[in-house]
Amino acid sequence: MDFHRINAAGFTLLELISTLAIGSILVTAAVPAYQSFIERSRMAASVNLFMSHLYQARSEAIKRERYVTLCPSSNGSDCIADYTQWAKGYIVFIDSNKDKERDINERVLSYFEGEDDKLLIHSSSNYRKVVTYYPTGRAWNFNTTIRICSKLSDEYNRAVIIASTGRPRVSKVMADGNKVVCD
C-alpha cells in the first residue's frame, strides 16, 4: 500500500482548545468592564437629559416672562405629589396661576417618559416637590438637590444641585459634601 501525504490546511485539536481558552478568559475579563461602561453611559445620558429640561424650563421662563414649572409626572399631563417619583417621568409646563400644579389650560412644553426600572430620581426635600422658575430665571424658594441614582451601584449616582439663582449644576457629592445616596 502506498500512502501519499495530503497537505491539509486546518487546526489541531490542541490549537483549537488553546484558542478557545484564551478567548473565554478575555471575554470573562471584558464583560464586567462593558457593564460598567453601559451603566456610566446610561447615567450620563439621564443626567444630561434632566439638565436639558432644567435649562429649557429656565430659558422658557425668561423668554416668555412667565412662571415655568418642572414636576414629576407619570402620564405627561399631571404632576405627581410624591417627590420620590421623578423616575416615572416629568413635565415642563407654563404655570399661569403660579400654583405649581398643572391645570388643564396650562401648556405642557415638554414631557419625559421615565425609565422607572433603571433609575431612581427624587428630590432631597419633601417640601420642594417641583422646580419652578420665575420670569427672571431665578428658581422658586431655596436651593434644592435632585438625586439621580443607579439601581446597580452608588458609584454612578449624581446630584443635580439647583441654586436659588436658577443655575443647575451636576456633582458626584451632595451640596453638604456627603455621598449621593438614594433610599
Considering the domain boundaries, does residue 98 fall inside one? Answer: no
Q: Can you give the C-alpha Rg of the chain in angstroms?
A: 26
The number of residues in the chain equals: 183
Q: Give the residue numbers spanning the domain of 161.
A: 13-66+116-171
pLDDT, tens only, 168-178: 999 999 888 89
| CA separation for the pair 84, 72 (Å, rounded) | 9
What is the DSSP secondary structure assignment for residue 125, as one 8-state letter? -
pLDDT, tens only, 60-93: 999 999 999 999 998 999 998 887 788 889 999 9
Q: Nearest Cα to 89, choosing from 61, 62, 64, 122?
A: 122
Average the pLDDT over each of 107-111, 112-116, 147-151 and give the range with the smallest value. 112-116
Considering the domain boundaries, does residue 47 fall inside one? Answer: yes
pTM assigned to the model: 0.82
3-class DSSP state of 23: helix
What are residue 152's phi and psi, to 5 degrees? Answer: -95, -45
- Which residue in the block uniquely carries the three cell numbers 433603571? 118
pLDDT, tens only, 112-135: 988 767 788 888 776 678 899 999
Considering the domain boundaries, does residue 181 fall inside one? Answer: no
Yes or no: say if 86 and 118 are a contact pair by the CB < 8 Å rule.
no
| CA separation for the pair 125, 145 (Å, rounded) | 8
Considering the domain boundaries, does residue 165 fall inside one? Answer: yes
Asked if the model's pLDDT at residue 27 lies above 90, the reply is: no
Domain CATH number, residue 17: 3.55.40.10
What is the edge-to-edge ordering of all strands in the sheet holding 158-162? 119-123, 144-150, 158-162, 168-171
Considering the domain boundaries, does residue 75 fall inside one? Answer: no
Considering the domain boundaries, does residue 100 fall inside one? Answer: no
Considering the domain boundaries, does residue 4 fall inside one? Answer: no
Considering the domain boundaries, does residue 48 fall inside one? Answer: yes
What are residue 68's phi and psi, to 5 degrees? Answer: -130, 135
User: Structural domain tally of the chain?
Assistant: 1
